[in-house]
Amino acid sequence: MADRAHPLPAPPAAVPALVLAAGGGRRLGGRPKALIEHRGRPLIEHALAVVRAGGCTGTVAVLGAAAAQVRATAEVGDCRLVDNPDWESGMGSSLRAGLAALPPGADAVLVMLVDTPGVTPSAVARLLAAHRSGAELAAAAYGGRRGHPVLIGARHFAEAAAGATGDAGARALLAAHAAEIVLVECADVAVADDLDTPADLARWNASAPLNCP
């Protein structure tokens, strides 16, 4: 039992995930990215399972293209779904909508793109560990190159939202604070691929059983 002289350490702060899942998949023939199937389930279900298994709590997902269909067909559990009516303007509007919908008091958020099925719970867990060690900005790295997901500390939320225009997402924030970003190498536990074109999807479907959980 803890006493006043030897109190128990505080539990780690809960970090929510923000899954950006609004894209219409224009280069994928107009198939909404959230509903593209990966191993028999839509990408949004896969992304939510990954961030939960990695340790995120209080997940928010931003929908856009085919939002009603996603709500009707995807199993999202206790994830909070937020509609972005401006999704066609680019990822920036989805990032702003998601940041505004985070649970009160969140001291960081892990931003996950729905079309990165090679991200694993282990990669998510490594970013959360970096935050617990003091990182306010962290990103998964693959062979030393920055990739996704990205972790943003609360003191950067307002700046991230202000700089999220067009399809840039958090790019402006990360560029302004490049020297502060903690790169967390994940190439041994995750794959950096994102799915933008039919060729990307075909290549991923051919190789995923070998490199993805």
Summarize pLDDT for 72-93 with one digit per residue, the tens.
999 999 999 999 999 999 899 9
* Distance (Å, whole) CA 146 – CA 25: 23
174 vs 208, higher pLDDT: 174
> Average per-residue pLDDT in the chain?
88
**Residue 4, CA distances (Å) to 1, 12, 46, 88, 95 in order:** 10, 20, 44, 55, 43
Q: Which tokens belong to 167? A: 């399809």
Greatest mean pLDDT range, 5-9, 49-53, 191-195? 49-53
Mean pLDDT over 95-123 rounds to: 95
Q: What is the pTM of this model?
A: 0.89
Amino acid at 118: G
Q: Which tokens belong to 130? A: 């970096």
pLDDT single digits (tens) 152-164: 999 999 999 999 8
* Distance (Å, whole) CA 122 – CA 188: 10
Res 208: pLDDT = 60
- Which residues, in sequence order, are bridge partners of residue 17? 110
Cis-peptide, bond into residue 32, ω within 30° of zero: no
Strands (DSSP E) along 22-144, which ranges? 37-38, 41-42, 60-63, 80-83, 108-113, 137-142
**First-to-final CA distance of the chain:** 40
* Distance (Å, whole) CA 171 – CA 164: 8
Is the pLDDT at 40 greater than 60, yes or no? yes
Q: Which tokens belong to 53? A: 């298994």
Q: Residue 208's closest CA among 64, 44, 40, 53? A: 40
Mean pLDDT over 177-196 rounds to: 91
Percent of the chain with pLDDT over 90: 68
Q: Tell me the pLDDT band of 211, cut-offs 50, 70 and 90.
A: very low
Res 2: pLDDT = 47
